[in-house]
Amino acid sequence: MIIIMIIIMIIMIIIMIIIIIIIIIIIIIIIIIIIIIIIIIIIVVVVVVVVVVVVVVVVVVIIIIIIIIIIIIIIIIIIISIIIIIIIIIIIIIIIIIIIIIIITTNTTTITTIIIISILMVVIIILTSASVVNNIMMTTIIIIIISISIIIIIIIIITITIIINIFK
């Protein structure tokens, strides 16, 4: 009886030990799985953050480059416009002087003067349009400026002609 009890006790102890070992193994496996999941989550988060940061930096750099290029283009257009306007003003002044000299030296009528102006202005329009043929907007602006200039010059020439004719 005692031997049977001892055998039963030993069997029970062995079963208990096996159960404890199984439980410990299960706990270890669960802990390893949790650690692996946490590591994967951390890696994914880090990768996503890095990718997002890189994308944001690239986008910001591209935007800055585009803004700089646009500013440079605008500055170049402004400088070209100013130069062209100055050239047009100089040409207009020269034309006025030439026409005043023509009026003073000869008995040219107002109509002839206007014809001369028109011819010279057509030449200017052709020259300026040719110089900025690539830029439609600039050409339009220049043609508008020239048209206004033509009107102003015609008015000036008519008044000068009238004054000169009065004093003659």
Residue 163, pLDDT score:
73
pLDDT classification of 57: cutoffs 50, 70, 90: very high
Q: Is 103 in contact with 161 (CB distance < 8 Å)?
A: yes
Most confident of 54-58, 130-134, 162-166: 54-58
CA 45 vs CA 31, 57, 59: distances in Å: 21, 18, 21
Q: Is 129 in contact with 142 (CB distance < 8 Å)?
A: yes
Element (H, E) at 80: helix 2-105
Question: In whole angstroms, what is the distance from residue 93 CA to residue 150 CA?
Answer: 12
Position 42, amino acid: I
Question: In whole angstroms, what is the distance from residue 4 CA to residue 142 CA?
Answer: 119
Residue 131, pLDDT score:
56
| Residue recorded with tokens 């986008």 | 59
- pLDDT of 99 strictly over 90: no
Residue 168, pLDDT score:
63
Q: Given phi > 0 = left and psi -120 to 50 = alpha, else beta, which region is 121? A: alpha
